[in-house]
Amino acid sequence: MMRSTRRETGALTRAGETSRQAPGRRGLRRTTAVLLPLWLLAAAMTLIASISVAIMAILLAYVAGESSWSKGQKDAVHALERYARTGDEADYGAFLAGIAVPLGDRAARLEMNRAQPDPAAIRRGFERGRIAHADMDGMVWGYRTLKNTPWLRPAVAFWDTGDRYIVRLADTGERLHALGRAGKLHAPESASLVHELQDIDSELAPVESGFSRSLDDAARTTRSLLMLVLAAAAIVLLGVFSQFIRRALARSERLEAEVRKNEERLTLGFEGINAGLWDWEIGSRQCYFSNWLYEQLGYDVGTRFDSEAGLAQLVHADDLSLVRHALREHLARATTFDVAFRLRTLAGGYCWCRARGQAVRDAHGRAVRMVGCLFDISELRNAEAKAYTERELAEVTLASIGDAVIRTDEDARVTYCNAVAERMLGRAAADIVAQPFDAVCKLRNDADGARRFDILSVAHAKSGSASLYLSRPDGSRLAVDYSVSKLRDAQGRAIGTVIVLYDVSALREHAARLAYQATHDELTDLYNRREFERRLTALLENDERAQPAHPGHAVMFLDLDQFKVVNDTCGHSTGDELLRQVCRALKSELRDEDIIARLGGDEFGVVMPHCTAAHASLLAENLRAAIAAIRFTGAGRVVQTSVSIGLVGDAEGLVSVKEVMKAADVACYMAKKKGRNRVHRFRYDDEELSQTHAQMAWVSDIKAALENGQFCLYGQPMLALAQASAPAAPEDTHVELLLRMRSHSGTLVEPAAFIGAAERFDLMPAIDRWVIARAFAMIAANTHRYGTWAINLSGASLGDGQLADYIEAQQRIWSVPFARVCFEITETAAITNLHEAITLIERLRAQGCRFALDDFGAGMSSFNYLKHLNVDYLKIDASFIRGIVGSPLDQAIVRAINEVAHAAGKLTIAEGVEDAAIMDLMIAMGLDYAQGYRVGRPVQLDVLREPELRDMAEPG
């Protein structure tokens, strides 16, 4: 403010100096008033003279152009006359060179006549007309501007007339040249063209003379006019500027006083402002305000604020006393006058203003006048209010968010922390602020407990994958993550850091819980299969790298016996309790370093690291006895169980997890097969186990065949014996579908090789469903016109409660009549699953399906169960058929089966009919159908690929 006052005082001083210098400046203004009109007069005359010279130059250029035009025309005529006599092409070339001049001028003239002429085309025409480049632009302007003036119009008319003769001359030259090329220059036609040439030349002479004369007349007329214009302009300009000088001198005298006063105001007011100006005459109590004030407040410039009282009415009531006090202090004690207040606008609102001023005092020190500046500070005040609001919002926000926020200065000392930071750091804000950050925030690595001092050293950082915890004064630990951001000023210099600490205790606990759940069984808290295999893999890999300094590892698979019975009779909660008690028995009998896992529903696995085979066998036997001793009451029943254990001792030289687990699985299976509740150890020399192992090897092949489409269907026909002597109608033909598997090498594998494994390892339902789906697709495709298609069902499929739903779904997909489908079930499978078989037969027969009882007679109670099974066909087992010709006993059995079947309303089918003798005997005995090599060998049915199946299955 003191500097401002000094500047304003200096302004007053300079104003006095300006008054003393006024006579010199007044003389300068008078000199300027006299000389300036003379300068303007000289400039105007120079401009007129320049225009006149330019116009005359243009006319002279046209005169020169006309001379070239005439010379070119004459040269062309003379050259063409020589050519008519000599036939020399050089003369014709001279003609073309001469005629090019007037033709070029003609092209330029025609282009200039256009509304939008092409400057390049005009330039090319003038170049051919031998016009100087410096004259071209002036000639274009002169032609387009003056061609219709009275003194230039005759020359343009002569030019146009002459161009028409030039065109005729060019045409005559071309025709004469054509005769010359044809060798006819001495022909009558040539003489006629020469006469025409002479006529054109003679007619052109007066035109050329008129063209030249009209250009000379135009030049003289223009010169005279320009001289008149120049003289008249000089007279007018002299008169105007003389009057201007008199008036300028008069105005200079009148404005002198006002200029001095305005200079004083501007000098005092605008040196230190960028807004409005005010000037207060203290004696007369009148105030002057610049237009800026009116514009800011919305008043018209004519509105009078001609006294301090008038302006005071606009000051906000809360600010008026402040303004008056500042004014009194300034006038009385010469203090700085600098005050902010609000002024009412025309719209009724208020505008924040800042007034600064300086009093002008007389010789006695009394203030006689006061001048100052006034500018709008509304934006500044709004910005201050907004900044305050934002600061308050930031403080409240930081105090309310759930993360700790800490701010430091450039020396890493804490300048701010929110309430969450106090809680997380375990300190009060008073103990945190002004302290070094590392002294109050002790971050350590979770892995080794080492302090972290580096988080403030980078511009932006996050904890990332590093696990950190906060060590608090009470010794407790808090898991945290962090983020760091540098604070910078407007010049980009670092002025501090903001650190945000996130409490991630719950997150890490949840992550640990998820990690535990990913590796452990929820019911028993044992490892799950994935973790079991991972740990076993690690042990085997370590053994490969390490020297065999100690025994290898033993692996056990445990499968609870009859666990399904416990679930079915006592409920799943009792079954779960049984699994937990088995888990406790495992932990109590095994060593601490042993790995125990629940592999499946009632299956457990154990890895005993560095355990001899003998000790592993002892542990396995103890486990078996401990599990057999489990007794507890569940659902009102005493619950107990036993376990079948497969043991692989010392890993038996196996190196991969897959091999070890398969060996243990096979050994466990053998323990069950041999009666359960026992331990079976895997040995390579165990033949029975090797067979089981081989069967298990089929499991992966069968699954691969199902996934990769390696199964295929063959069909073996059946013959209706009543029609054996005549071909059967298509609807009466029968075929049985037989399954084959194609190996990786492409060879066919008979069912006998893999059906046993499929039955033992519960793969038959999947195979049966594959056959059913393909059979229905082939029936729908109608590629083979068999009437009835026989599909075999296994015993496992009969026990599948969802099989009937699946068959009905396939029938809906393929729209196959059930009357064309016959399901074959073996006698043994039907008896084993009698209830399920009866339910399935009744449900599907009601919809039109037929059923055949396969291998009939092979069982011990065939006739006893026949009355319970509502089948349509009995297929007599081939063991009774193959040797029937020489066996009275087989004949009697077959005859009895046939008679009983017919008595029960069922048809009979003889299997294994291999030759004509057996066929004849079957006919004689009255059987209904025959099947065997005599009837037909199995043949592969058409293969339907997956896309074809999908296309057929889609409606429409």
Res 370 pLDDT > 70: yes
Give me the half-sphere count of Cα atoms (radius 13 Å) on the Cβ side of residue 566: 23
Lowest-pLDDT choice from 81-90, 624-633, 645-654, 901-910: 645-654
- The segment with the largest mean pLDDT, out of 291-300, 307-316, 448-457, 519-528, is 519-528
CATH of 520-684 given 2.40.30.10, 3.60.40.10, 3.30.70.270, 3.30.1370.100: 3.30.70.270
Across 472-602, the runs of DSSP E, i.e. the strands, are 477-488, 494-503, 554-561, 595-598
List alpha helices for 377-490, DSSP H. Answer: 378-400, 419-425, 429-432, 437-440
pLDDT digits over 244-253, tens only?
777 777 777 7
CATH code at 703-949: 3.20.20.450
Q: Could you give the CA distance from residue 637 to residue 151 in angstroms, rounded to a whole number?
A: 139
pLDDT of residue 852: 96
Lowest-pLDDT choice from 6-20, 228-242, 259-273: 6-20
pLDDT of residue 726: 54
Amino acid at position 463, single letter: S
Q: Which comes out higher in pLDDT, residue 753 or 220? A: 753
Q: Which residues contact 180 (CB under 8 A, 6 or more apart)?
A: 83, 87, 92
Lowest-pLDDT choice from 2-16, 404-418, 551-565, 924-938: 2-16
pLDDT of residue 58: 76
pLDDT of residue 273: 55
Q: Could you give the CA distance from residue 442 to residue 478 in angstroms, rounded to a whole number?
A: 11
At 686, the pLDDT band (50, 70, 90 cuts) reads low
Cβ count near 915 (within 10 Å): 12
pLDDT of residue 727: 58
pLDDT of residue 746: 80
pLDDT of residue 189: 84
Q: Could you give the CA distance from residue 104 to residue 242 in angstroms, rounded to a whole number?
A: 52
pLDDT of residue 266: 64
DSSP codes, 16-46: HHHHHTHHHHHHHHHHHHHHHHHHHHHHHHH
Q: Could you give the CA distance from residue 522 to residue 597 in angstroms, rounded to a whole number?
A: 11
Shortest CA distance to 331 belongs to which of 288, 360, 356? 360
- pLDDT (mean) for 31-46: 65
List alpha helices for 22-147, DSSP H. Answer: 22-86, 89-112, 119-128, 133-146
Res 15 pLDDT > 50: no
Helix (H, G, I), strand (E, B) or coil at 757: helix
Q: Which residues contact 547 (CB under 8 A, 6 or more apart)?
A: none
pLDDT of residue 871: 94
pLDDT digits over 646-674, tens only?
999 875 567 688 888 888 988 898 898 88
Mean predicted lDDT score pLDDT of the chain: 82
Res 694 pLDDT > 70: no
Q: Which residues on neighbouring strands pair with residue 735, listed in sequence order? A: 717, 789
pLDDT of residue 915: 95
For tokens 């542990």, name the residue.
619
Shortest CA distance to 598 belongs to which of 613, 612, 615, 584? 584
| Cβ–Cβ under 8 Å, residues 102 and 72 | yes
pLDDT digits over 389-430, tens only?
887 787 777 766 778 999 999 899 999 999 899 999 999 999
Res 763 pLDDT > 80: yes
pLDDT of residue 8: 41
- pLDDT (mean) for 489-504: 89
pLDDT of residue 820: 95
At 578, the pLDDT band (50, 70, 90 cuts) reads very high
- pLDDT (mean) for 500-521: 90
pLDDT digits over 304-361, tens only?
665 556 677 888 989 989 988 988 888 888 888 899 999 888 888 898 988 888 888 8
Are 276-382 and 703-949 equal in CATH topology? Answer: no
- pLDDT (mean) for 789-815: 94
pLDDT of residue 227: 76
CATH code at 401-510: 3.30.450.20
pLDDT of residue 23: 46
**Domain extents in the chain:** 52-231, 276-382, 401-510, 520-684, 703-949
pLDDT of residue 3: 45
Lowest-pLDDT choice from 154-158, 630-634, 665-669: 154-158
The proportion of the chain whose per-residue pLDDT surpasses 70, expressed as a percent, equals 85
At 565, the pLDDT band (50, 70, 90 cuts) reads confident
Helix (H, G, I), strand (E, B) or coil at 743: coil
* Cα Rg of the chain (Å, integer): 61
Q: Could you give the CA distance from residue 908 to residue 886 in angstroms, rounded to a whole number?
A: 21
Q: Could you give the CA distance from residue 525 to residue 516 in angstroms, rounded to a whole number?
A: 9
Q: Give the pair of three-digit tokens for residue 802.
A: 């969802």
Q: Which residues on neighbouring strands pair with residue 644, listed in sequence order? A: 559
Shortest CA distance to 137 belongs to which of 152, 122, 117? 122
pLDDT digits over 181-225, tens only?
888 888 888 888 888 888 888 888 787 777 777 777 777 777 777
- pLDDT (mean) for 248-265: 70
Please give the model's pTM, rounded to 2 decimal places: 0.43
Long-range contacts at 502-511 (CB < 8 A, ≥ 24 apart)? 502/403, 502/404, 503/402, 503/403, 503/404, 503/424, 503/478, 503/479, 504/479, 504/480, 505/478, 505/479, 507/479, 508/467, 508/479
Q: Could you give the CA distance from residue 201 to residue 191 in angstroms, rounded to a whole number?
A: 15
Res 627 pLDDT > 90: yes
Topology given in CATH for the domain delimited by 276-382: Beta-Lactamase (3.30.450)
At 14, the pLDDT band (50, 70, 90 cuts) reads very low
Q: What is the end-to-end Cα distance of the chain in Å, rounded?
A: 94
